[in-house]
Structure 1
Amino acid sequence: MITRLTAAERALRDAIKPGAKVDHSAGGATIRAFVLQEVLLDDRAPCRSLVVRDAKVVDALDLEAGTIGYPVEFVGCAFAGEPNVEQAKLFGLYLTGCRLPGLSGAQVDVAHNLELVGCDCSGLVDLIGARVHGQLLLTGSRLANPAGHALAADGMKVYQDVKFSGGFRAESPVRMIGARIGGQFDCDGAHFLKAGEVALDLKGAVIDERVYWRDGFLVEGEVRVADARLRGGLDCTGAVFRHPAAVALRASGVVVDSDVRFRGASVEGPADFTGCDVTGMLDLTGGRFSSPGETALDLARARVRQNMICRSGFEVRGRVLLAGADIGGSLWCEGGHVENSTDTALDATGLVVHRDLHLGHRRSASGAGDDGFHAEGAVVLSGACVEGDLDCAGGRFTNPAGESITAIGLTVERDLLMSDGFVADGVVDLAGAEVHGCLVWSGGRFTNRSRAIRADRAEVGHSAKLDGLHADGPVLMRGMRIAGNLDIADARISDDETALVLEGTTVRGRLRVGFTTKPAGGVDLRYASAGQLDDRDCKWPDRLRLTEFVYKALPVNGLSRAVRVQCLRGGAEEYVPQVYLQLAKVYEAAGKHDDAKHVLIAGQDAGRRAGRGVRGAIDRALGFVLKWTVGYGYRPLWVLYWVAALTVVGAVAAAVAHPDGFRRAKADLDVGFEPVLYTLDLLLPVVNLRQRELWVPVGWVLWGSSVFTALGWVLAICLVTGLGKAFKREL
């Protein structure tokens, strides 16, 4: 029996009516805790519900291990001591607008709701191991514990929703490690303020429905959801995370069975999503992540089963790490901005994207677009695999001191586009890449002067298009394999040494080269091959290296033979017979036999000019004779023109010199002198027309006859040599 009660305490006891809904106001009076305790634990005449208003509860209310079978609510009450409900079994506990120095509720079991709404708590709220079969509401409350945690709820299980919304404010750490929430976790507008520490710890927690951190949600300190499971998704639209001195958001290993949204969110400090698994989409559009000089957004080994969206407004100051990540849909970064100018801006080494990867600009149906993706610092895509298109059209990649894009060993199942406003201020390295569709650099701008593009050993399944490409440095495409066409029309490559290097490259289709402005640097086609060389209207540079360049056809209305021969001569450091033989072979295959012979003669000319020293001088002299007599064997009938011309000259000279310049070999021989036959007898060494035997030259005619005889032997030797070369070629 309660004795010596105050008037306020007696009024409270008298208000209790069995089976009634009791709503009692203390009017600001003081009620001792043990009195309230006996009222609450008295099960002899329980009421249906109890509301206590405006009471001052002195001492500590101790309900440990007790049982209260009806809902209890305190409204506007002030507790001088920390209420203790540890291991108690409560129907429902509601504290609204109360002030309390803490709450001890470890392993409490609440059949319905546990609510601290609009409360001001200056100590620890201990809910470790608690069981709440309804909702846990801390809406509008302020929790502050200078000595430690504001809320400790490790292992807590709430079967319905948890709400920290409506202006909730925690000025000390909130710890909910391993908690299990069967409904939503709503923190819209909540503030967690503990800079330098873990402000909100949900490590290993399981939340069955959606997590809402929106509409003014603010954390100053670290948020930890590492290894948690969020079955309903995570919505951080407009949230603010501030912890620039250390990790702001630690979500490594988190599993989310729906979408994750950071639209318009701001994260100051590293955000760690290493190894996370998101079943839905990851939407970072408009999100701002800042950790200059460090990894601002870490998605290494992350798995996103649907799309990852980082469109306009997405900004990162620091590194974005996507190494080893797996994106089940598309990765859209149109309009995003990543800035880490002193190091790597985006590291996507080994990234797998099962659809498209967009690092450019987005076009609407009206044709309007955003500003395009912009990376200040290196973008690394080495070893990545994109199963759709890799579209960088309109993107800007800035890293003047090094490589703007490093994509060594990249695999793209469809098209790789670096066109339509694409700008790379730094080296673009695609060495060893595999593009199963088209490689398009049309209209792209590559400004690095030391090396604009390196695509050595890259493989292209269809065509490569460089139309309208503008490069301020050399374009290196050594050892490439292109299954379709390679088009380099209207390209501008500014380099004083070697503008374009296609050494060892194989183009199975057409190689279309159309420099409208002659490149200042050379073009290297050594050991390359193409199904067709289409260079109509092309202005080849002065330095053109063609050793072992093989092509099967030329355009019908292409460059003239004279221009092509000039190209073969231009810039050659040494005589290479193969380049002339290749061009002649193509002319022969096209039925242009005369053009083929002119090219072969030009090749012999080049070889003759290439000779050096005494041997070279001899070869040049012999070659000169062979060229103008039998065309190096390619024009053996030219010797007949020489014979005819010399016959006319010799016959005229012999006719003038006869009879004073000749005497009969036999005085009694009655044979007339025939100037033409005499000349032919001199010029044809193996033919005997008997004119030389019958008429003996004297004086200056003797010397002239000797000259004609020598010329005859020279022509005969040239004819035999030319015919020998001709037969040798036929064999």
Structure 2
Amino acid sequence: MTEAAGGTPPQDWTPVERRMWQAFREGRTCDLRTGRAGGDDPLAGPAWGPDRTVRAQAVAELLLDGPPAVPGRVTALKLAGVRISGRLMLAGGTVTPYVQLDDCRFDDPLMLQECRIGSMRLVRCRLPRLDAARLQVGGDLHLPQCLITDGVRLADAHIGTDLLLNQLTVRRGRAARAFAADGLTVGQDVDAELIDFTGEFSLRSARIGGRLSLRGATLRNPGGRQALNAARIAVEHTLYLSGGWNALSAGGGSAPPPEDVTVLPFTCHGGLRLDDGRFGNAVIISRARFVLAGEQQVSLRRIQTPELCFTLPRAPEGEVVLSGARVGKLNDTPSAWPSAGRLRMTGFSYDTLPPLADFPLRERLGWLAAATPEFRPEPYERLAAALRAAGEDTEAREVLLARQRRRRETLTPAGRVWGWLQDITVGYGYRPGRAAVWMAVLWALGALYFALHPTPAAADAGGYRPHWSPALYALDLLLPVIDLGQDNAWRETGVAQWVASLLTLLGWMLATTAAAGASRLLRRGT
């Protein structure tokens, strides 16, 4: 500026710009709002005339090379209800004063590429476009309730503390992206609740030091592949893709909403991609709605998080992919998962599950079947391990039994017959009590048969012959190892010989399957 320090504003400045100049020196707000209903609405109200207009060049001069503050005050650009005409070019510059714009309109894009700034807050403003690639903000960047009609670019930007986007509306910009923030770094939280984006929201390789909250957000990308593309993102705390409410009408804060406030779901019209993401606390996907078409997916490939909450009232119509994901605690509901052929989780690992009262074992086995159209043992073994860790040993054996039954379907006819026999006799060894029941039934039938028939001839008339006992004789036939002295002492003929041979054969089969089951129980988890 050409005037002496502390002097007067440039002579070619308009009265409105001179008023802004004085407010800047005093650190107060230059408020041009009229107070008339609808007339001050920057988003949808009528056009504003020269009495509410300042040039972008004048604003840039204040921010980049402004006058000193009035003694005892701090310079700050605070505008309310102001129209900024022309393109505001701050690219590559250093902005020291604090910046806050409320209910303002920009005629042309705001250019902040490679700019350095302390903090900037734009509240309920209308902009054609925000281009801020490699922007460096030492404090906060706030864009709540703004309307941006041609996209936002924050690629490789650095925000020192918080990025606030609540109730931001963005329309499709260049390259089909509404909000391009690949490589973004935020020191603390990103709050993007109740946002409404048309076009891809891209956060690839972003680094967020606190939480990322998209509660109540609406994302849509007509004709695109992903509505939210956050591959390789790193969030130190929690990612929220869940329901949200209007914090302003509800009184603000993080407390639960009042009963009369409608909670809006997180809505994603398009694919969700979190592949290779790292989350320090949890991923919460709850009260969410996914509208997928074609090859669009809810893709959580190879994510790592201590907790995954996947509790949807309705399953996505497209694919849900968890392949390679590593989760500590899985908190889910049966209604959240798609049907067979649309759930993929090869290599998905987890340590704990919700209680069986919330997700019954029968439905959990159906969940596994939906994820494994072709038999693989690993998902069953992982589920059994999680149940066993929770003290549910009986249910863990049921899972391993289901695994053997699925495996039987892949065997040869002879293998299926042998597997079926193992199943009905001892449940592949996971139901060892069945062997005792079958042994008791066969013993009773054998003892009854031999009791109703004549005593057989002695095998060796000159040797020792024990007293004939139908019950001991049937038991000796059934037990393949133990010798009670009855089996070799008598010689059966005719039908009785066939019955004796059948009991011996069944005894060996029961013993073999019981031994196989016992070995599985000893080798825990197989």
Letter in 2 for 1:648: A
Could you tell me how far apart the structure 1 residues matched to 2:140 and 2:428 are?
60
Shift of 1:405: 0.9
Q: Separation in 2 of the partners of 1:696 and 1:300?
A: 106
Match of 2:116 in 1: 326
Amino acid in structure 1 at the alignment position of 2:303: T
Counterpart Cα distance in 1 of 2:57 and 2:415:
78
Bigger fraction of residues in helix: 2
Mapped to 2, the partners of 1:431 and 1:464 lie a distance apart of 14
Partner of 1:416: 190
Q: Is 1:591–2:388 an aligned residue pair?
A: no
Which digits, 9 at most, give the CA deviation of each residue in 1:130-172, with x for residues without a partner? xxxxxxxxxxxxxxxxxxxxxxxxxxxxxxxxxxxxxxxxxxx
Partner residue of 1:213 out of 6, 9, 14: 14
- Higher strand residue share: 1
Deviations 1:283-317 (A, max 9, x none): 565454567xxxx3322112111322343132234
- 2:327 maps to what in 1? 530
Kindly indicate whether residue 208 of structure 2 is the aligned counterpart of residue 435 of structure 1: yes
1:304 aligns with 2:103: no
2:162 corresponding residue in structure 1: 389
Distance 1:215 1:591, change over 3 A: closer
The answer to whether the 8 Å contact 1:274/1:300 transfers is: no
2:214 matched to 1:455? no
Q: After TM superposition, give the deviation of residue 709 of structure 1 in Å.
A: 2.2
Give SS of 2:275's match: coil
Query: How much has 1:550 moved relative to structure 2?
Result: 2.7
Letter of the structure 2 residue corresponding to residue 411 of structure 1 = T
| Equivalent residues in 2 for 1:441-590, closer than 5 Å | 441-448=214-221, 450-468=225-243, 469-495=266-292, 499-508=297-306, 510-536=307-333, 538-542=335-339, 543-556=342-355, 557-590=357-390
8 A contact 1:300–1:322 mirrored in 2: yes
| Distance of 1:323 and 1:397 partners within structure 2 | 19
Q: Which residue of 2 aligns with 1:622?
A: 418
Q: Distance in 1 between matches of 2:60 and 2:414?
A: 78
Q: Which residue of 1 aligns with 2:53?
A: 265
Hey, what's the Cα distance between the residues in 2 that align with 1:396 and 1:353?
A: 22
The 3 A distance-change label for structure 1 pair 674 and 333 is: same
- Give percent identity, aligned residues only: 29
Residue matched to 2:250: none
- Counterpart CA distance in 2 for 1:574 and 1:730 is 21
Paired residues of 1:523 and 1:545 also in contact (CA < 8 A): yes
Change (3 A) 1:689 1:310: same
User: What residue number does 2:153 align with?
Assistant: 380
User: For 1:530, what is the secondary structure of its paired residue?
Assistant: strand
Note if contact 1:480-1:504 (Cα within 8 Å) is conserved in structure 2.
yes
Aligned residue in 2 for 1:184: 7
Question: CA contact under 8 A between 2:16 and 2:54: conserved in structure 1?
Answer: no
Q: Is the 8 A contact 1:544 1:570 kept in 2?
A: yes
The two structures have a TM-score, normalised by structure 2, of 0.78
Asked whether the 8 Å contact 2:309–2:330 carries over to 1, the reply is yes
The 1:331/1:216 distance shift into structure 2, 3 A limit, reads closer
Matched-pair contact (CA < 8 Å) for 1:529–1:549: yes
Tell me the SS of whatever aligns to 1:547.
coil
The Cα shift of 1:383 comes to 0.9
- Where 2:426 maps in the other structure, the secondary structure is helix
In 2, the alpha carbon distance for the partners of 1:182 and 1:268 equals: 22
Partner of 1:402: 176
Instruction: Name the structure 2 match of 1:78.
Output: none
- What is the rounded CA distance, in whole Å, between the counterparts of 1:297 and 1:576 in structure 2? 60
Q: Which has the higher contact order (CA 8 A, sep 6+)?
A: 2
Which whole-Å deviations, capped at 9, do the CAs of 1:665-714 have from their partners, x for residues lacking one? Answer: 35688655433223222222222334333333333333333332222222
Deviation at 1:467, TM superposition (A): 1.5
When residues 272 and 185 of structure 1 are mapped into structure 2, their CA distance, relative to the original with a 3 A threshold, is closer
Whole-Å Cα distance in 2 between the matches of residues 277 and 664 of structure 1? 121
The aligned residue for residue 704 of structure 1 is 499
Alignment correspondent of 2:443: 647
- 1:348 matched to 2:348? The reply is no
Which AA in structure 1 matches 2:487?
R
Deviation, 1:416, is 0.8
Change (3 A) 1:720 1:552: same
Native 8 Å contact 2:385 2:525 kept in 1: no
Shift of 1:636: 3.5
What is the SS of the residue equivalent to 2:198?
Answer: strand
C-alpha displacement of 1:498? 5.9
Report the Cα offset of residue 423 of structure 1: 0.7
Read off the aligned partner of 2:186 and give its amino acid letter.
V
Structure 1 Cα separation of the partners of residues 302 and 524 of structure 2: 28
Task: Give unmatched runs, 5+ long, in structure 2.
Answer: 19-23, 33-49, 69-74, 244-265
* Aligned residue identity for 2:514: L
**What is the CA distance between 1:457 and its match in structure 2?**
1.4
Change in 2 beyond 3 A, CA 1:536/1:718: same
Distance 1:180 1:273 in 2: 12
Distance verdict in 2 for CA 1:466–1:603, change over 3 Å? same
Distance 1:571 1:579, change over 3 A: closer
Deviations 1:82-104 (A, max 9, x none): xxxxxxxxxxxxxxxxxxxxxxx
8 Å CA contact 1:216–1:238 kept in 2: the answer is no
What is the Cα deviation at residue 563 of structure 1?
Answer: 1.8
Unaligned runs of 5+ in 1: 1-177, 191-211, 218-230, 240-261, 340-344, 361-371
Structure 2 letter corresponding to 1:214: P
2:516 paired with 1:728: no
User: 1:377 aligns to what SS in structure 2?
Assistant: coil
Equivalent-residue separation in structure 2 for 1:499 and 1:680 (angstroms)? 61
**Which amino acid in 1 is paired with 2:301?**
E
Partner of 1:359: 143
The amino acid of 1:590's aligned partner reads: A
Q: Within 2, Cα distance between the matches of 1:596 and 1:712? A: 28
Return the TM-score normalized by structure 1.
0.58
